[in-house]
Structure 1
């Protein structure tokens, strides 16, 4: 028996990405890019006043997603997120990612 669509979330699940400067301060206006390592499809977002972006979502699942942040000439090291999927949605592992920009 198939699950009813009504049981599933209508909104896509997003990954919370926090971008920090080399000194540990939250960075507003940083660009965050998530790229599916299999399909090479990307989603890009910009951090808010709190240095947070939720632009990367489960539309990139189920493959692993490589996430990187940039602000001007400063770039973070890339980190990888795995997506765990059920019949309705995919959840990012980890649910929150913290990226630190190089000095």
Structure 2
């Protein structure tokens, strides 16, 4: 079915899409060696098969949700840095269906080196 838009250009009517359009993400918290949340830490996630990366910066709560399913379905290596401090790497696996990939685990806490 073609519909007319306000600019008189033809538009295609799209049926209801049952898949989520929001990307599934991992909630990553970054803490210092003494357990305090770290604002402004850079979190980098890298797909271990393709070497494609996503980075995000923690907000005032020390959390970012920049790591998302665009890196799926391969496992992802996640690290955090703040200045000269670096966290050990953690891994996220993705469980995928026909629409989305869900991270396992869905939350990570990365502790920066002292």
Structure 1: runs of 5+ lacking an equivalent: none
Partner of 2:23: 12
What is the alpha-carbon root mean square deviation over aligned residues?
1.0
Q: Name which structure has the greater RCO, CA cutoff 8 Å, separation 6+.
A: 1
- Aligned residue pair count: 100
What is the CA–CA distance in structure 2 between the aligned matches of 1:79 and 1:96, rounded to whole Å? Answer: 11
Partner of 1:101: 112
User: Do residues 25 (structure 1) and 32 (structure 2) align?
Assistant: no
Q: Structure 2 length as normaliser, TM-score?
A: 0.86
Moved over 6 A (4+): none
**Matched residue of 2:17: which SS?**
helix
- After superposition, give the CA deviation of every residue in 1:6-63 in whole Å (9 maximum; x if it has no partner): 1111111111000000000000000000000000000000000000000010000000
User: Do residues 54 (structure 1) and 54 (structure 2) align?
Assistant: no
Larger Rg, first or second structure (1 or 2): 2
Structure 2: runs of 5+ lacking an equivalent: 1-14
